[in-house]
């Protein structure tokens, strides 16, 4: 097929191109070059990542694809296990396309199945599962001539959380911040820089693996809430407000050790793309 449908959506301004592909036949294995082109903010549609929508039973990437499988790609074409803002936008798309009912939708990801519910106030809540805190200590993150100790939190995808005095300290984040030891994150890492604003209230910036600085990162907000709650020796359950450049979300670390992420998700454009427009 030379043309295909696309939509755009965002969650706290972490933005995505959505590619409906119910039986997986429109995009095959999804070419990394096509992803890079679609995400290009000058020559393409512009986005932090791509959410391909495949029926759970029609994909072959994971054992349990849920009701619908979210095939997530970063803007550089790389594959990521999970995306906390993306999964809400994904569920919003399913609802607006009439593909789900009132029940929670089970979204398959490379980091397991995530249940998403729509709330009466228009937000969506995702059960993000349990955080993993690898014991490795001594991780140091460096950006803009500053160094900070960082906490490793795995949310299905890898995060390093650094508490800073001022969110301006990491600079413009155009360059990839570095970390050591390198072996701590052999597959790369998402880096969060955080300040405390008050009790259970934090603000962050993020440099995403495979995308650069973005205006929000849902898995990153969960990693930050975990790092902040542990540092404050909070008892579970505990809820954090996490501010990001593109808005705010809430993260509840439940007594059963699961994290619940609640935030907005909107669709804001749609169209048809002709493969003939791809650069030769
Ligand atoms: N923006 C996402 C995370 C997307 C994947 C990430 N860049 C990675 O490579 O792990 C979110 O909202 O969680």
DSSP letters spanning 207-255: EETTTEEES--HHHHHHHHHHHHHHTTPPSSEEEEEEETTEEEEEEE-T
Q: Which residues line ligand 1 (CB under 6 A)?
A: 14, 49, 74, 80, 83-86, 157, 190, 208-211, 217-220
pLDDT tens digits, residue range 204-249?
Answer: 999 999 999 999 999 999 999 999 999 999 999 999 999 999 999 9
Residue 149 in domain:
yes
Domain co-membership, 270 together with 255: no
- Nearest-CA residue for ligand 1 atom 4 is 83
Smallest Cα–Cα separation from 67: which of 36, 97, 47? Answer: 97
Q: Structure tokens of 149?
A: 């100790």
Q: Which residue segment(s) compose the domain that 176 sits in?
A: 139-263
Domain co-membership, 110 together with 187: no
Q: How many angstroms is it from 188 CA to the middle of ligand 1?
A: 12
Residue 240 in domain:
yes
Domain co-membership, 250 together with 150: yes
Domain co-membership, 109 together with 151: no
Residue 6, CA distances (Å) to 52, 99, 194, 280 in order = 10, 16, 34, 21
Domain co-membership, 191 together with 103: no
CATH code, domain carrying 63: 3.10.310.10
Q: How many angstroms is it from 70 CA to the middle of ligand 1?
A: 13
Residue 194 in domain:
yes
What global pTM score does this model have? 0.98
Is 0.95 exceeded by the ipTM?
A: yes
Residue 128 in domain:
no
Number of domains in the chain: 2
Residues with a known catalytic role? 83, 217
Q: How many angstroms is it from 211 CA to the middle of ligand 1?
A: 8
Which residues on adjacent β-strands are paired with residue 274? 3
Q: Structure tokens of 78?
A: 């790389």
Residue of 211, 216, 225, 247 best suited for mutating to test ligand 1, as the one with most atoms within 8 Å of CB: 211
pLDDT tens digits, residue range 120-176?
Answer: 999 999 999 999 999 777 999 999 999 999 999 999 999 999 999 999 999 999 888
């Amino acid at each position: 097929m030379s043309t295909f449908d696309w939509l755009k959506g965002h969650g706290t301004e972490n933005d995505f191109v959505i590619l409906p592909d119910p039986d997986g036949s429109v995009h095959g294995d999804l070419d990394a070059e096509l992803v890079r082109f679609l995400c290009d903010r000058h020559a393409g549609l512009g986005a932090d990542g791509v959410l391909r929508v495949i029926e759970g039973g029609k994909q072959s990437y994971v054992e349990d694809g849920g009701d619908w499988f979210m095939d997530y790609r970063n803007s550089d074409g790389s594959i990521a296990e999970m995306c906390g803002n993306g999964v809400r936008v994904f569920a919003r798309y399913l609802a607006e396309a009439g593909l789900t009912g009132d029940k929670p939708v089970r979204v398959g990801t490379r980091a397991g199945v995530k249940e998403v519910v729509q709330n009466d106030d228009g937000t969506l809540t995702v059960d993000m599962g349990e955080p993993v805190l690898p014991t490795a200590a001594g991780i140091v993150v460096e950006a803009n001539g500053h160094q900070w100790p960082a906490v490793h939190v795995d949310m299905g995808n890898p995060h390093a959380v650094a508490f800073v005095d001022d969110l301006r300290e990491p600079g413009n984040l155009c360059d990839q911040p570095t970390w050591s030891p390198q072996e701590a994150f052999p597959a790369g890492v998402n880096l969060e820089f955080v300040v405390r604003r008050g009790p259970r209230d934090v603000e962050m910036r993020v440099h995403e693996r495979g995308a650069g600085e973005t205006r929000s990162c849902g898995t990153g907000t969960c990693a930050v809430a975990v790092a902040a709650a542990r540092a404050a020796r909070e008892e579970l359950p505990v809820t954090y407000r996490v501010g990001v450049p593109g808005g705010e979300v809430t993260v509840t670390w439940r007594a059963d050790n699961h994290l619940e992420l609640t935030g907005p998700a909107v669709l804001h454009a749609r169209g048809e793309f002709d493969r003939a427009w791809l650069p030769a």
